[in-house]
Amino acid sequence: MLILYQTQLTKKINLASNVYLFEFSLIEPKEISFLAGQYLILLVPSKGETISRLYSIASPPWQKNSFELVVELIEGGVGSTYLKNLKIGDKALFKGPAGMFTLKETSKNKVFFATGTGIAPIRSMIMESQKLEVKSQKFLFWGLRKKEDVYFLDEFKKIKEKDKNFEFKICLSKETSLSKVESDFFSLGHVDYVFEKELFPKIKKTIFDFEFYLCGGRVVVESLRQFLLQKNIPQSAIFFEKF
């Protein structure tokens, strides 16, 4: 059963270009309980009716009194326009949590593929995985277009420092050079290309010990799913969310 949450905007940070991080504090109920990877439904008042927009929770489940969203504001979009106009202290209504795209508490190693703001639920999963008793290897391949599109770099570096089982690559599809970036954390090309080149040869023989989590635009996620299936990775080991 979905719960109605009364919230207040407490943070609004421009991460890159039109991408923003929104933090909402809980008014009633005072706590939220969800699984890493799930989403909330924003209730947008519009011309006398209520329009629903779905946003993945970007914060970890152990953050109980507030939650974060990572949203690319689209010009003219109903949800985007509403969020763009929200000021610190303004109230907002959400329903949820919902969604079947969740982190599995298994001992299997995990590969995360995200493109753009598809990083939101993946970020929640990676942060949550730091608290799990079951320790496994985790690899993140995050696709962005250009250097100026990058955010969360310092955050993922800090996670890597604490968790020796976590590796990540930010995959830049529209750059021709890795000058002026830390090449240890960046690669050129789309996420499937970087995965095939840099990780797949190392894990090919143990591929059945892995789970794969995909999040991004519909076309990209379906392409990635087919890419993995062609590598004889079982459908049961592939979890995805499209938007």
Quick: pLDDT tens for 81-102: 999 999 999 999 999 999 999 9
CB contact set of 183 (below 8 Å; sequence gap of 6+): none
| Residues 73 and 147 placed together within one structural domain of the fold | no
Taking CA atoms, 243 is separated from 118, 125, 178, 204, in Å, by 8, 18, 29, 29
104 domain residue, yes or no: no
- pLDDT tens digits for 170-229? 999 999 999 888 889 999 999 999 999 999 999 999 999 999 999 999 999 999 999 999
Question: Is the overall model pTM greater than 0.85, yes or no?
Answer: yes
145 domain residue, yes or no: yes
Mean of the per-residue pLDDT values of the chain: 96
What three-state secondary structure class fits 191? helix
What pLDDT sits at residue 135?
A: 81
Place of tokens 């929104």: 22
Select from 47, 70, 98 the last residue of a domain. 98
| Residues 150 and 172 placed together within one structural domain of the fold | yes
Place of tokens 């049961």: 236
Q: Is the peptide bond before 121 cis (omega within 30 degrees of 0)?
A: no
Select from 98, 118, 135 the last residue of a domain. 98
Q: How many residues appear in the chain?
A: 243
CATH of residue 236's domain is 3.40.50.80
| Residues 152 and 87 placed together within one structural domain of the fold | no
| Residues 143 and 210 placed together within one structural domain of the fold | yes
Q: Report the run of H or E that residue 150 belongs to, with start and end.
A: none
Can you give the residue range of the structural domain that contains 87?
3-98
Q: What is the mean pLDDT of residues 105-133?
A: 95
Rounded distance between C-alpha atoms, residue 118 and residue 70, angstroms? 9
What pLDDT sits at residue 113?
A: 98
In the chain, beta strands by DSSP E: 3-16, 19-28, 39-46, 49-56, 66-72, 91-98, 109-115, 138-144, 166-172, 186-188, 210-216, 238-242
Instruction: Please tell me the total count of domains within the chain.
Output: 2
Select from 98, 118, 138 the last residue of a domain. 98
Q: Residue 131: what residue type?
A: K
How far the first Cα of the chain sits from its last, in Å, is 23
